[in-house]
Structure 1
Amino acid sequence: MTETQQARGLFRRAAMVLAACSATAAMAQSWPAKPVHLVVAFPPGGIVDTVARQLQPRLQSALGQPVIVENRAGAGGTVGAAEVTRAAPDGYKLLMTFDSYATYSLTYPKLPFQPAKDLAPVTQIARNPLILVVNPQVKATTVKELVTLSKAEPHALNYASVGAGSSNHLTAELFKAISDAQAMHVPYKGGGPAMQDLLGGQVQMMFLSAVLAQPHVQSGKLLAVAQTGAQRVPAFAAVPTVAESGYPGFEVHSWVGLLAPAATPKPVIERLHQEIKRIVQDPAFAARLQEQGLSGIANTPEQFASALKTESQQWAKLVRERQLSME
């Protein structure tokens, strides 16, 4: 190949890169030009759906286009996630999910997509601690009493989860690991059946998101024993943390986050992040989150990606060490 041919080849490649960059920039400047769909990977009424519907009118106003919330529940959130991976990477179909996303590779080894490759983190919108709740029939009101009871009667306590690999499953196992508490895992196929049996006393305890625990604790149908954050949240100001209860360093949060199909233009992802950050930092919106035990995050796409990687590695380590069944 002559020097002239090499130069022409380099010129063509440079022109192609420039054209691609120009097209991306043009699309980002015109985005959004039509409705944006938020695919909620869980049923109505849960924490992800709640945050999505509180975010929707404000995001719609910020973007100047309709924002449509669509519930696509099933298989622990993977049905909705898979739908978004198949969407065009143009910013018009986005995924709202929560912390179980970090354990998909553990729980669903035969997924039709790869979470780390097929979806791009946009931002973690908000997080809240999990609340360790017990049915009032349980003769324990503190973490110390609960651990003591579990050791004295090893088969007396069962804990519910919304499925193997869920945050309430793994948090309970982490709690058992540090406290040597004894409790049997009872997985359910969703929060509704789990809550029904917890309220009915068929299972005795569960780590619930603060949003879901709050009304049942306020009504006296469940007793809050501890919360899993580093500090107490205002909605549960009288409830000690697990760390305060004798297990320093224990900290787990449930979170709600937004992801987009991989290859979505970076300017679109950055615009979404900036708009959500403004919403989350608005005092009225922040106060509404706080009332539900949530705190806003709105971290950067890079910070969200790093947090996902760290969380996935931590839970994988626990699964190996505890030899936990993910079925």
Structure 2
Amino acid sequence: MTRRALALTMLGATSLVMALPAKAQDAAKSYPDKRINFVVPYAPGGATDVGARLLAQKLQESWKQTVTVENKPGAGGVIGNDFVAKAAPDGYTVLIAITQIIQAPSLMSKLPYDVFKDLAPVTQIAISPIVLVVPDGQPFKSVKELIDAGKTGKFQYGTFGNATTSHLYGELLKKNAGIDWTHVPYRGAAPLLNDLLGNQVTASFLDFTTAGPQLEAGKIRPLAVGGEKRKPKLPNVQTMAELGYPGFEAEGWLGVFVPAGTPKPIVDKLSAELARIINSPEGTAGLQAVNLVPVGDSAESFEKTLKRDFERWANVAKTAGVKGE
């Protein structure tokens, strides 16, 4: 009787294990059969919001299913990230996040979620280049001139917020170059840009989406870019690494996540369709129009990027001595 009961239990467990993949496949076949909600953990109007709305529109057209965009700003993105991390893992609540999501663990002592345990990567949307700029009213024509001035006199550099990529880059240069400049954090890139145009801050590491139109207008001047390579729209602007300053290889990006536990067939289906949209002529043009560099990769590829960049930003935060509030 005992052996028979044990055999029946094992048979039932085996049947359940075999049924789970089949159930996941069935769910993927019917997905999506209701509204999909894209959650943006920042206010409307920024690069993250623009990218999310572009993808939402194209996904809605492709899948003939409603795709909404919901802005949940607060705590530097933590509120929106946490909302998705705790949502049902069914593919209907989707996070459009930025690099902050893997920078935060090295900057904050406590987070309500674990990016590697509570969220699953779907695809990297695009890279958001960072440009070291000065107002046209400043005399500096190179990074060397800026650094030389920073060694002999105090000046201010602006960022789009404390413990952001802009801040990390600024403090890293301060440490590496031995310059004395004061950090002035702003509540976003837009107010920072206004003070740059007014020549109220000497320099800034600014995202290319915000900086692009003013660079074209000649109102601010590019001195260098972050990342491993030069940017197609700024081919003559050297990288920080080319100029002899390592540590600026990690870049900002936009990426898509779903709650951990979302069936892999659903993750793969969403990843493939979003990657197709991103790499389509319309998707690429839409992202490039706001000076983003399209990526559109697989979930597996994006996961490798996350692990690589997590280590990179941890090293930058440690070297720069930056901590979140």
Determine if the TM-score, normalized by the shorter chain, exceeds 0.5: yes
What does the per-residue CA deviation read over 1:254-302, in whole Å, with 9 as the maximum and x for residues that have no partner? 2100000111110111011111111122133323433433222122222
Rounded to whole Å, the distance in 1 between the matches of 2:72 and 2:22 is 34
Asked if 1 retains the 8 angstrom alpha-carbon contact of 2:278 and 2:295, the reply is: yes
The correspondence of residues 22-61 of structure 1 with structure 2, limited to 5 A, is: 22-61=22-61
Asked if 2 retains the 8 angstrom alpha-carbon contact of 1:233 and 1:293, the reply is: no
The correspondence of residues 266-281 of structure 1 with structure 2, limited to 5 A, is: 266-281=264-279
User: What SS does the aligned partner of 2:200 have?
Assistant: coil
Give the share of equivalent positions with the same residue, in percent.
38
Rounded to whole Å, the distance in 2 between the matches of 1:313 and 1:183 is 27
| Structure 1: tracts of 5 or more residues without a match | none
Rounded to whole Å, the distance in 2 between the matches of 1:243 and 1:319 is 18
What residue in structure 2 maps to residue 80 of structure 1? 80
The correspondence of residues 30-179 of structure 1 with structure 2, limited to 5 A, is: 30-153=30-153, 155-156=154-155, 158-179=156-177
RMSD: 2.1
What does the per-residue CA deviation read over 1:119-146, in whole Å, with 9 as the maximum and x for residues that have no partner? 1111111113211111233221111111
1:9 counterpart letter in structure 2: T
Rounded to whole Å, the distance in 2 between the matches of 1:288 and 1:39 is 20
Rounded to whole Å, the distance in 2 between the matches of 1:252 and 1:179 is 18
Shift of 1:249: 7.4
The correspondence of residues 306-317 of structure 1 with structure 2, limited to 5 A, is: 306-317=304-315
Rounded to whole Å, the distance in 1 between the matches of 2:62 and 2:236 is 37
2:209 counterpart letter in structure 1: V
Rounded to whole Å, the distance in 2 between the matches of 1:131 and 1:117 is 32
User: What SS does the aligned partner of 2:252 have?
Assistant: strand
What does the per-residue CA deviation read over 1:202-257, in whole Å, with 9 as the maximum and x for residues that have no partner? 32221111111101222333222111133332322343322333446742322100
TM-score by length of 2: 0.92
What does the per-residue CA deviation read over 1:126-185, in whole Å, with 9 as the maximum and x for residues that have no partner? 1132111112332211111111111121x12x2222333211111222333443343222
Asked if 1 retains the 8 angstrom alpha-carbon contact of 2:168 and 2:322, the reply is: no
